[in-house]
Amino acid sequence: MATAPKKKLISSDNDTEWSPVLAPDLIRSIFERLNFAEFHRAMSISLDWYSTAELCYRQNPTPWLILFSNYRHISCRLFDPLHDKTYVIRDLGFDFHRSCCLATSGSWLLMLDHRTDFYLLNLFTRERICLPTLEAIDGWQMKFERVGESDFLKTFTYREGYRSYSSGLSTKVVIENAVLWVDERSRDYLVVWSIECFFAYHKKGDNNKTWKVIQLKKNEGCSDIVFRESKLYVLNPNLNITVFDFSSGSPNECASFTSQDIGLTLYPLSCFGHLVITLSGEVLLIKTRRYGIYSFDVYKMDPKSSKWREIYSLGNEAILLDLGTTIAAKDGFGENSLYLSNHKLCRYNGSSLCNENSNYVYDFLRRLVVQRFQHLADLSPVPFKDSCWFFPTFCGKSLL
């Protein structure tokens, strides 16, 4: 990473002091034309350039793909599709290669390490924020008792009938879904994760360093969650959607949608495992099919009738399935396309990146794969265990 340079640079020809002085507007125009690596090299020219770089950003960031390594000395590889360039990130911490990424927000990653401890990590600044441990649950619905480095005795208590059960010793606690939101200027953050029918959340500023618990009504499970503009959208296995508002204090249920569409019942409900919120706030449901590779159909909910209908065009938008959102289809991102990194089923089964079901672009209008990124893993001597799309940022602002 670029560090703040000394104010004066020494010329080797005449041993005199030289300081490059350019108008800030001119420096800014130069930064706007640089790629990621050039941007950071230019920051080291002088303090004027470094200060200008911190104020320079582009309004519409382009998503990048990150591949996570199994090796300690190489933490991850980044791919910039706009400039068709790859970068290697090293030294993100001794335990990074033994951690898994649960969610992203800008350049911040929500990580779960080999001890099942949570932390936030900024990919470029290396800043790390420790989160409450799994045992620190503020609520009677969930209880985790550590009985080994990563082993737990877990107990879930349900509202209906107040019955409880203990699942016994577990060698691995599977966090089924998670979302992260970070304000990179103020460092305010919110983390939400789910397991069975319970949600745990923690945000900066909470007085006690614990996870607070939300329990869904009727003990409904969770297929997917998306966080957008202070609201958490929860999709349950019956295709019902519950929305929680986090804009003030404790989260409040502010909306719910009960699916009335009979057409979707022609397929197993487990096929509908992904929720997407578009740039305009529309709710999409993604149906997964398996014919050699995973393929997808897209459904949109009518907010008046709560019925789903299949759609074949998103206009000038593309779907980023990892983030549960859409982006403007430009800078190489095609409209009516779905960008997939590592399928959820492969990730939860502990599978490494595979040739068939990882890192590709699916055109749901033509119903075929139109681009693959698997070469990023195949051509590397280092094995990669997972991948995801994210928006690169630095100094609290978008670089691209």
Residue that wins the pLDDT comparison between 337 and 38: 337
- Per-residue pLDDT band at 399 (split at 50, 70, 90): very low
Report if residue 227 sits inside a domain.
yes
In the predicted model, is pLDDT for residue 25 greater than 90?
no
Q: Which pLDDT score, from 0 to 100, does residue 180 have?
A: 97
In the predicted model, is pLDDT for residue 16 greater than 70?
no
Q: pLDDT tens, 64-77?
A: 999 998 877 777 88
Residue that wins the pLDDT comparison between 13 and 4: 4
Report if residue 22 sits inside a domain.
no
In the predicted model, is pLDDT for residue 19 greater than 70?
no
Lowest model confidence (mean pLDDT) among 36-40, 89-93, 226-230 = 36-40
Structure tokens at 161: 């009938």
Report if residue 35 sits inside a domain.
no
Structure tokens at 209: 């360093």
In the predicted model, is pLDDT for residue 378 greater than 70?
no
Report if residue 74 sits inside a domain.
yes
In the predicted model, is pLDDT for residue 17 greater than 60?
no
In the predicted model, is pLDDT for residue 10 greater than 60?
no
Cα–Cα distances in Å, from 369 out to 60, 75, 325, 342? 26, 29, 20, 14
How far apart CA 358 and CA 345 sit, in angstroms, is 11
Q: Which domain holds residue 346?
A: 58-390
Domain count, the chain: 1
- The most distant pair of C-alpha atoms in the chain lies apart, rounded to whole Å, by 85
Residue that wins the pLDDT comparison between 336 and 294: 336
Q: Which pLDDT score, from 0 to 100, does residue 349 have?
A: 53
Report if residue 11 sits inside a domain.
no
Lowest model confidence (mean pLDDT) among 1-10, 189-198, 273-282, 308-317 = 1-10
pLDDT averaged over every residue in the chain = 80
- Per-residue pLDDT band at 160 (split at 50, 70, 90): low
Pick the most confident of 106-110, 235-239, 308-312. 106-110
Average pLDDT over residues 248-271: 72
Report if residue 9 sits inside a domain.
no
CATH number at residue 134: 2.120.10
In the predicted model, is pLDDT for residue 291 greater than 70?
no
Q: Which pLDDT score, from 0 to 100, does residue 11 have?
A: 33
In the predicted model, is pLDDT for residue 376 greater than 50?
yes
Q: In 3D, which of 66, 80, 344, 393 has the Cα closest to residue 224?
A: 344
Burial of 2 (0-12, 13-18, 19+ CB in 10 A): middle
Encode the chain in three state secondary structure.
Answer: CCCCCCCCEECCCCCCEECCCCCHHHHHHHHCCCCHHHHHHHCCCCHHHHHHHHHCCCCCCCCEEEEEECCCCCCEEEEECCCCEEEEECCCCCCHHHCEEEEEECCEEEEECCCCCEEEEECCCCCEEECCCCCCEECCCEEEEECCCCCEEEEEECCHHHCEEEEEEECCCCCCEEEEEEECCCCEEEEEEEECCEEEEEECCCCCCCEEEEECHHHCCCCEEEEECCEEEEECCCCCEEEEECCCCCCEEEEEECCCCCHHHHCCHHHEEEEEECCCCCEEEEEEEEECEEEEEEEEEECCCCEEEEECCCCCEEEECCCCEEEECCCCCCCCEEEEEECHHHHHCCCCCCCCCEEEEEECCCCEEEEECCHHHHCCCCCEEEEEEECCEECCEECC
- Per-residue pLDDT band at 97 (split at 50, 70, 90): confident
Lowest model confidence (mean pLDDT) among 8-12, 119-123, 256-260, 362-366 = 8-12
Report if residue 228 sits inside a domain.
yes
How far is residue 353 CA from its own chain's centroid? 17
- Per-residue pLDDT band at 26 (split at 50, 70, 90): confident
Residue that wins the pLDDT comparison between 164 and 209: 209
Report if residue 4 sits inside a domain.
no
